[in-house]
Amino acid sequence: MIGPLRLVVGAAGGVAAALLALRLGRRGTPTGTDPAQAVLVPLQRRYGRGFTFGLLGASLGVLLLAYAVVALLLVGTGLWGTNIPFVWGFDLINYVWWIGIANAASLFAAILVLRRHGLRTAVNRFAEAAALAAVAAAALYPILHLGRPWLFHWVLPYPATFQVWPQFRSTLVWDLWGILSHVVVTSLFWYTGLIPDLATMRDRAALRGRMLAARLYGLAALGWRGSVVHWARHQAAYRLVAALVLPMLVSAQTIVALEFASTLVPDWHQGRVPLHVVVTGLPAGLGVVLVLAILLRGTLGLQHLIDDADMRLLGQLTAAAALASLWLYGDELLAAWLEEDATRQASAARILGPYAPLWWGGVALTAVLPQLLWSARVRRSAAAGILIGLGAAAGVWLDRFALVAGGLLHDHLPRIGPAYAPSGPEWTLLLGTVGLFATALLLFARTLPVVSMFETRHEEDRSEGA
């Protein structure tokens, strides 16, 4: 019970920190009515007490991450709670969880760009940033799982002297290409959408006399001048990269799921695993985007850019993704009883065994709790939105725990050690990656506009023309 208790305490702490940042941000940051001033908050000299306290808390998480990594390098993976037959634990649980958040956020942003939906103006920018930060957190786990992470280059197909090439049947090689493609495509998608706004930041910084900032923004803007040719090439490139995101997400998430399906473990060796990982990961990513929208809307005064209609649609999308997860859970329960005896017993052990509270908790938080967002009264409450969004993300984490550890609960060998329970260093590493994720998003909000300025101007022009 110590693990779930820590999770509950951590989730409560996250909710309290989010609500505190929301409250302090309202006091510390002036909220004007001009959207142009709201999105140029990064050029302000002072950023409010909410940002300061939030950055301090996230920095403590990064220090925990550094401590966990150094301890792992000095001692080795024996610090973790994994044992036979539980050869996979927090390293894979958290990796799959972070990848699911990144995939859902990227998929959401890419579809909005391809469909040219109006919601992209409000949420695309920080959804893409959240995806990139989640990928950075996920990329740590396959490297640290090696035990000797300084030799991670051995999984690369480099021209070795003895021609000892990586074993393609190793899932570590799959992780390498999955993460590498995810980082490249997600970074391009995020950066391509930023280029026009970086040029605007360059010009505004020069007008305010901040020449160093103007030079840095200008370097990143790649000489953007806003000509017709520039706009045509930018829109074509933006939609091309958004189209590349879709197959990349399917392949990256499927690679993670195939790590389970390629084994002979009865509860994993099934074709439903890739679909389960993809579909159940959607509420986590959308829940994180929902929480970020609420916090940014309240702390930076972006009510005119992230309006009530945007929040309503975002809440309904989160509830719809949760409803799809609920249908999938029901379908899996039905299909499990139609499988062979070994698979049926393994599924029953995961649902009714020692890890059953985690599985049922994942179903409740991921698939049932977000259904409250169909209510307009719930959607209008910032506290309720934060609770439901973080709850959906926590529920997917519980599901991954039940999938990884519960799948190995019944083995065909004599039990050598106790059931898997995460150790203190593993919890420290998880909290450290959460701190890394939060720090990346806070620095993003401090240095770059969190809402697309060129999309905002486009929407304003369309409104005036109408």
Percent above pLDDT 70 for the chain: 81
Max avg pLDDT among 91-105, 199-213, 442-456: 91-105
Q: Note the pLDDT of residue 11.
A: 44
Read off the pLDDT of residues 43-82 as tens digits, 9 standing for 90 and up.
555 666 777 787 888 889 899 999 988 988 888 878 887 7
Choose the weakest-confidence range: 235-239, 363-367, 455-459.
455-459
Cis peptide before 85 (omega within 30 of 0): yes
Instruction: Please give the average per-residue pLDDT across 151-174, as a whole number.
Output: 74
Radius of gyration in angstroms for the set of CA atoms belonging to the chain, rounded to a whole number: 23
Number of other residues whose CB lies within 10 A of the CB of residue 20: 15
Q: Which of 287, 275, 245 is nearest to 386 (CA)?
A: 287
In the predicted structure, residue 151 carries a pLDDT above the cut 70 = yes
Mean pLDDT over 6-18 rounds to 44
Q: Return the structure tokens found at 466.
A: 């109408």
The span from the first CA to the last CA of the chain, in angstroms, equals 59
Distance CA 101, CA 2 (A): 25
Query: Is residue 460 a contact partner of residue 121, using CB atoms and an 8 Å limit?
Result: no
State the pLDDT at residue 15: 43
- Higher-pLDDT residue of 412, 109: 109
Q: How many Å separate Cα 332 from the centre of its chain?
A: 25
- How far is CA 234 from its chain centroid? 26
Task: Provide the pLDDT for residue 33.
Answer: 42
Task: Tell me: pLDDT of 119 over 80.
Answer: no
Mean pLDDT within 339-351: 74
DSSP code of residue 301: T
Nearest C-alpha neighbor of 68 from the set 423, 428, 438, 421: 428
DSSP H or E segment with residue 456: helix 453-465
Amino acid found at 51: F
Domains and their CATH numbers in the chain: 19-153+170-451 (1.20.1630.10)
Residue of 3, 1, 2 whose CA lies nearest to 394: 3
Q: Is the pLDDT score of 180 beyond 60?
A: yes
Residue 446, pLDDT score: 79
Look over the chain and give the mean of its residue pLDDT values, rounded to a whole number.
78
221-237 mean pLDDT: 86
